[in-house]
Structure formats: C-alpha cells, structure tokens
Structure 1
Amino acid sequence: MSLVAWMIVACEIAFWCVILLGLVVRYVFKKDKLGYFLLCLVPVIDLALLIFAGYDLLSGAVSTKAHGIAAVYIGVSLAFGKSMIQWADERFQYYIMKQGPAPVKRYGLDYAKHYLKGWLKHVLAYLIGAGLLAALIYFIQDPARTESLSAILKLWSVVLGIDLIITVTYFLFPKTEKAKS
C-alpha cells in the first residue's frame, strides 16, 4: 500500500477520533467550547491530506488510485462533514448520554426528500473532488502520470449517476415502514 493510501487511512481514523473526542469533551466533561474547537479541527485533517497528496504528485510521483481517492475523500468530507458530525452528535446524545430525542426514522416522501438532500450533497462532493482531480490533471500536464486520476473521475461520474437513479426511485417507490411483529 502506498504512502498516500496510508495517509488516507490515517486521516479517516483521525476524522472519527476527533469527532468522538469532541463529543466526549462536549457532553461528558461539559466543555462546550473545547468540544466545539475539537470538532472544528476536522477540516484541518482534510487540509493535511490535500497538501500531502498534492505535494506527492507535484513532486513527480505517478498518480495512483490512492491519489484519486484522496480527492474523493476530501470532497465527501467537506460536503458531508457537517451532517456526519450532526449524525454522530445525535446518536452520541441519545445512545451514550441517554439524553435528547431518538434519531428520526424516515419513510415515504420524507425519506425521499431526505435522500435527495443527500444526493445534492453528493453533487457538491463531486464538484469539489472532481475540481481537485481536474486541477491536478491540468497542473501535471502528463496523461501517463494522471491516468488513474482520470479513471477515478470517470468512475465517480458513473456512481453519481447511479445515485441519482436511486434517488428518483425513492420518489417513485417510497420506502415504507417495516411491519412490527
């Protein structure tokens, strides 16, 4: 596994550790400002990954799937980061601290609208990640060195299209609540 791939793994672990630490400090130790500060460090992790992967490529490395996935990771983290933190926050309060309302279970049109919002965030993540990939491809100016970046971009375009199809199906065939036994 390449150094960039290990950096992605380290950033993903750091992402969830910082979130968990922020939530523990915020709710267990009742230090709201410190907890908020820790949660605000999440984008710094993305910035570190961006700098590392960009420097590696601009220093002459041939792009790998890991470099492409780094751009995807950054796009997803920036687009979904706030909602992922909110998701973790709600569940931490409810399941760990035994406070607050139960996480909402969505069905029907409500679920479809919620999924559509998620798809729009996916579009934002795509625009960010694709922009990073396109910028790297442009600055490197060597198709042989950026072939894997182009492949990731094409694959992600297909995934975004599939996600749109799934989104539309939730409007056509709304998700129903499972029968209680």
Structure 2
Amino acid sequence: MSPEVFTSPAFVALLVGEVLFWVLIAAGLAARYLLRRPRLGAVLLAGTILVDLGILATAVLDIRSGGAATSAHGLAAIYVGVSVAFGPVLIRWADVRAAYRWAGGPAPVALPKQGPERARHEWDRFARWVVAAAICAAVLGVVHLLAGPDADLAALTPWFGRLGLVTVIWFVTGPARFLTTPTTASR
C-alpha cells in the first residue's frame, strides 16, 4: 500500500469506525447486563449501523471532493459489507458470552468439528460471505456512480477480483468439505 492510503480520510474513518464498533458493542452489552438497561443496550448495539454509514459516507465524500481512490476506499466497502452480513452474528456471539458471564445465562455451546451442525454452520457463514461480497460489490459500484466522471477510480477495480478470490478460497476451505460428507448422519 502506498503511504497516501494511511492519510486518506477513508482510512482514518476505518480506524475510528473499527474502534467505535467495538466500543458500542461493549457499551451495549454492559448496559444490557451490568446496568440492567436492555433498551439502552439495544440502542447502543444498533448504533453499529451508524458506524457503517459513517465509513461509507466518508469514503464517498472523499472521492467526490477530488480525492483519488485508494485501497482504503476498497477496504471501506469490504468493511461495510462484512459488517452488515456478519454484524448480527458477531453481536449474538458476544451477547451469549456476556449473558453467561454477567447475567447467569446458559454457557456458550461449542460448535462440533464435524457433523450436520458443523456443516450448517459452514454453509451459513459462506452464504453470509456471499451476501457480504455482493454488498461490497454494490458499494463499489455506488462509489463509482457517485464519484463523478472525473474521479480516479483505478484503485477500486481490483477489489472485484479480490472478492471473487476470497469467495473461492472460502468455499474450498469451508463448505466444500461437506459436499461429500453425509450431513444427516448422527455423530
């Protein structure tokens, strides 16, 4: 990556957004379980959506104001897609652990290494990645449209191929292992 990537408003928004994302999750779970304020917790957890919108808006505004597209803008698109597709799963994962630790909830259940439950998990996560990749591609397309005819968007084009490569690797290392394994047999 070139040095200008690290000074790009999109890169700064990504860093701030990532920190804010985790702060909002921690604050939301603390409000829900430690302060016993479930509504406040829900509002804080829902605030993660605003983080995504802020990152996306910063990336688009940066390009619209004449900034050249950099890898940071592609990463912003990836961040938004992954956050939308995997955010609810991540929040549920953290919520189960916070409920167990702070509210006497049931212990988190470990995912089996084989069997139908593992196969469902792998297919679910792959499907979520496909959704994330589609959102990323759509965001990149929207950035192309909103940037205007004079914008230098050459740095964004390779991200489409990267999305495809990650999709193939994810499929091969994840759900493809369960194509020949019976998923209905008991463990």
Please indicate the TM-score interval, normalised by the length of the shorter structure. 0.7 to 0.9
Q: TM-score, normalised by structure 1?
A: 0.88
Matches within 5 A, 1:130-169: 130-140=137-147, 145-166=152-173, 167-169=175-177
Partner in structure 2 of residue 124 of structure 1: 131
Matched to 1:105, the amino acid is A
8 A contact 1:25–1:32 mirrored in 2: yes
8 A contact 1:137–1:143 mirrored in 2: no
Partner in structure 2 of residue 8 of structure 1: 14
Count, aligned residues: 173
Q: Distance in 1 between matches of 2:157 and 2:110?
A: 38
Distance 1:171 1:93, change over 3 A: farther
Partner in structure 2 of residue 179 of structure 1: none
Please provide the CA RMSD for this pair. 1.9
Q: Distance in 1 between matches of 2:169 and 2:97?
A: 29
Partner in structure 2 of residue 50 of structure 1: 56
Distance 1:159 1:143, change over 3 A: farther
Asked whether 1:104 is paired with 2:112, we answer no
Following superposition, the deviation at residue 171 of structure 1 comes to 4.3
Partner in structure 1 of residue 83 of structure 2: 77
Amino-acid identity (%): 32
Q: Which runs of 5+ in 1 are unaligned?
A: 175-181
Q: Which runs of 5+ in 2 are unaligned?
A: 1-5, 183-187
8 A contact 2:60–2:147 mirrored in 1: no
Distance 1:153 1:64, change over 3 A: same
Q: Distance in 1 between matches of 2:16 and 2:75?
A: 13
* Structure 1 stretches of 4+ moved >4 Å: 141-144
Other structure's SS at 1:60 match: coil
Matches within 5 A, 1:34-45: 34-45=40-51
Q: TM-score, normalised by structure 2?
A: 0.85
Other structure's SS at 2:59 match: helix
Following superposition, the deviation at residue 146 of structure 1 comes to 1.2
Q: Distance in 2 between matches of 1:78 and 1:39?
A: 13
Following superposition, the deviation at residue 99 of structure 1 comes to 1.9
Asked whether 1:66 is paired with 2:66, we answer no
Q: Distance in 1 between matches of 2:111 and 2:33?
A: 26
Following superposition, the deviation at residue 170 of structure 1 comes to 4.0
